[in-house]
Amino acid sequence: MNIINIEKSPLSNRRYRIYLLNGKHYDIGLNECKYYIDHGDKKLRELHYGLFNKYTKHICSQLISGRILYETFILNGCTTDIIKNVNFYNNEILRRF
């Protein structure tokens, strides 16, 4: 499902709220965690991906909508620019499925 907006989360322990085309929203990113958009270290991002369990890999490979999917593609995406990561998700990832 396409992401149509991203803003600061109103929840005290989450960083962002994303809104989807279907009207749903998800609060993603823990405030105390560092993501690729924060540190820009590709080695750390790859280590993070290496920690994925079978369930997380399944969610991401099947694009099952939820917090884990959006944190993976938006906060630990291919760039350190969150807007570019949203656009990449909407235009490249969703187009493949």
Domains of the chain: which residue ranges? 3-96
- Integer Cα distance of 60 and 70 in angstroms: 9
According to DSSP, the residues that pair with 27 across neighbouring strands are 17
Q: What is the mean pLDDT of the chain?
A: 92
Residue among 67, 87, 82 nearest 37 (CA): 82
pLDDT digits (tens, 9 = 90+) for 22-64: 999 999 999 999 999 999 999 999 988 888 889 988 998 888 8
- Are the C-beta atoms of residues 59 and 68 closer than 8 Å to each other? yes
Which pTM does this prediction carry? 0.87
**φ/ψ of residue 44, rounded to 5:** -65, -40
